């Protein structure tokens, strides 16, 4: 089976199953422990562990003293767990259901699942090399795919509507990569989301590759300019470098619209402004103790708009200006885009204006302002 397409490198192992399209399987079983599954897994896989975390540790400890007894315990636990999984998850599967099974290296845990499924009569493929081989494939893909993509980059200070504009571009049919959405974080010190845990680094990379492979390589991809880290997540080097080479559209909006957007997007900070100022303590030395104390005073008084505007003007806007100065030496084409209206209709119109600009093409001297009509 050939396993290559323009945006999907094959898993590089000879004489084994090579997977380039996981969608052709009805069910993908990850036979590893829940802890391993939480760290990373094939998108769409269901975790039906041969042994759970505590059992896995128990068998591992037993193996050091008596391998034979460890295998006895392991197989006994495995067969019980597989029987439960069949009852609870697979009892209603049709005869022609197609399965892919994998474990850490494609060894004993995969074999236990595959043998039992094949005995029932199902068609089963085992991912040889298992998750470890899949992980190598992900890393290779994240090195090779980003340089092939024509990125169009939305830049601009915090609160200018870049993320909303990305969503509007997607609504109009454009290809969009929402890195902050994949990372479960809005970036910056105050970007953590209530009741949302960031994915593990490895699973973020899995999600990123899965999204990159879904794009048409002949069309541009819109993305927001990001620093190397989004919360605890590190953007892979090739991805970061590819974004840095893309054409820039510098987004700006009136302060009134930015303040409205912040209050809509950060209701938890509106509800607890003191907590927000405490989250910004690491920048106290940058803005000065006096300014930081003014923020805290505004927070304690509940002066939300005063606080938000001061944080943007005194911290985020200067930070963005400094970062842009550092990039002036880079040969990147730019255009400034004014967003007078950050409501839904205004953003859709702005998205259409951006698409028109992208179709016209940019030149390094073509840096005049474009305002949606």
CATH code, 88? 3.40.250.10
Claim to verify: residue 125 and residue 48 sit in the same structural domain: yes
| Mean pLDDT, the chain, whole residue set | 88
Distance separating alpha carbons of residues 246 and 226, to the nearest angstrom? 12
Claim to verify: residue 260 and residue 330 sit in the same structural domain: yes
Q: What is the pLDDT of residue 42?
A: 96
Q: What is the pLDDT of residue 16?
A: 40
Claim to verify: residue 40 and residue 118 sit in the same structural domain: yes
Structure tokens given for 274: 């003191």
- Find the DSSP H helices in the chain: 34-39, 53-65, 67-85, 108-120, 130-144, 162-171, 179-183, 201-213, 237-244, 255-265, 267-271, 273-279, 284-287, 289-301, 304-311, 317-327, 344-360
For residue 2, tell me if it sits in a domain.
no
For residue 10, tell me if it sits in a domain.
no
The one-character DSSP state at 236 is P
Q: What is the pLDDT of residue 17?
A: 41
For residue 12, tell me if it sits in a domain.
no
Per the structure, the count of domains in the chain is 2
Distance separating alpha carbons of residues 281 and 68, to the nearest angstrom? 57
Q: What is the pLDDT of residue 367?
A: 41
For residue 219, tell me if it sits in a domain.
yes
Catalytic residue (one of 90, 103, 307, 354):
103
Claim to verify: residue 35 and residue 63 sit in the same structural domain: yes
Q: For the chain, list residues with pLDDT below 50.
A: 1-17, 362-368, 373
For residue 4, tell me if it sits in a domain.
no
DSSP strand pairing (98-102 vs 123-126)? parallel
For residue 6, tell me if it sits in a domain.
no
How many alpha carbons fall within 13 Å on the CB side of residue 69?
7
For residue 5, tell me if it sits in a domain.
no
CB neighbours (10 Å) of residue 118?
A: 12
Contacts for 127 with CB less than 8 Å, ≥ 6 apart: 11, 17, 19, 100, 101, 102, 106, 110, 133, 134
Claim to verify: residue 151 and residue 125 sit in the same structural domain: no
For residue 266, tell me if it sits in a domain.
yes
Distance separating alpha carbons of residues 166 and 164, to the nearest angstrom? 5
Distance separating alpha carbons of residues 373 and 357, to the nearest angstrom? 13
Among residues 88, 108, 140, which one ends one of the domains?
140
Claim to verify: residue 152 and residue 88 sit in the same structural domain: no
Structure tokens given for 369: 């302002």
Structure tokens given for 23: 């969608």
pLDDT tens for 220-263 read: 999 999 999 999 999 999 999 999 999 999 999 999 999 999 99
**CA 320 to the chain's CA centroid:** 23
Among residues 140, 162, 186, which one ends one of the domains?
140
Claim to verify: residue 294 and residue 350 sit in the same structural domain: yes
Among residues 140, 161, 186, which one ends one of the domains?
140
Q: What is the pLDDT of residue 62?
A: 65
Claim to verify: residue 135 and residue 46 sit in the same structural domain: yes
| Active-site annotation holds for 103 | yes
Claim to verify: residue 41 and residue 132 sit in the same structural domain: yes
The residue segments making up the domain with residue 154 are 146-370
Claim to verify: residue 225 and residue 330 sit in the same structural domain: yes
Claim to verify: residue 158 and residue 267 sit in the same structural domain: yes
Distance separating alpha carbons of residues 259 and 342, to the nearest angstrom? 11
DSSP strand pairing (233-234 vs 229-230)? antiparallel
Claim to verify: residue 136 and residue 154 sit in the same structural domain: no
């Amino acid at each position: 089976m050939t396993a290559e397409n323009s945006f999907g490198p094959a898993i590089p192992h000879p004489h084994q199953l090579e997977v380039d399209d996981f969608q052709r399987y009805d069910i993908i079983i990850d036979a590893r422990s829940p802890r391993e599954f939480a760290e990373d897994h094939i998108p769409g896989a269901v975790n039906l562990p041969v042994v759970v975390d505590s059992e896995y540790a128990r068998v591992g400890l037993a193996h050091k003293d008596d391998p034979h007894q460890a295998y006895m315990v392991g197989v006994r636990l495995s067969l019980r767990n597989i029987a439960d999984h069949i009852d609870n998850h697979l009892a209603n599967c049709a005869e022609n259901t197609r399965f892919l099974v994998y474990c850490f290296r494609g060894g004993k845990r995969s074999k236990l699942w595959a043998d039992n499924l094949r005995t029932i009569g199902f068609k089963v493929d085992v991912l040889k090399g298992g998750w470890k081989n899949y992980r190598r494939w992900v890393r290779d893909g994240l090195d090779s795919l980003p340089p092939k993509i024509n990125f169009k980059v939305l830049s601009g200070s915090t609160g200018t509507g870049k993320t909303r504009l990305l969503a509007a571009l997607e609504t109009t049919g454009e290809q969009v990569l929402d890195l902050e959405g994949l990372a479960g974080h809005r970036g910056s010190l105050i970007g953590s989301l209530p009741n949302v845990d960031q994915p593990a680094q490895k699973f973020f990379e899995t999600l990123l590759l899965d999204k990159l492979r879904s794009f048409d390589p002949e069309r541009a991809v819109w993305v927001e300019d990001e620093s190397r880290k989004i919360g605890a997540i590190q953007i892979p080097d090739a991805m970061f470098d590819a974004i840095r080479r893309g054409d820039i559209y510098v987004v700006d909006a009136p302060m009134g619209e930015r303040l409205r957007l912040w209050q809509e997007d950060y209701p938890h900070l509106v509800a607890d402004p003191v907590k927000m100022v405490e989250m910004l303590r690491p920048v106290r030395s940058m803005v000065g103790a006096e300014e930081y104390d003014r923020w805290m005073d505004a927070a304690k008084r509940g002066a939300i708009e005063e606080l938000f505007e001061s944080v943007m003007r005194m911290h985020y806007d200067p930070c963005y200006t400094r970062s842009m100065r550092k990039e002036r030496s880079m040969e990147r084409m730019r255009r400034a885009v004014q967003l007078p209206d950050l409501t839904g209709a205004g953003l859709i119109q702005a998205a259409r204006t951006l698409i028109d600009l992208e179709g016209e093409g940019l030149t390094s001297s073509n840096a005049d302002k474009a305002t949606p009509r």
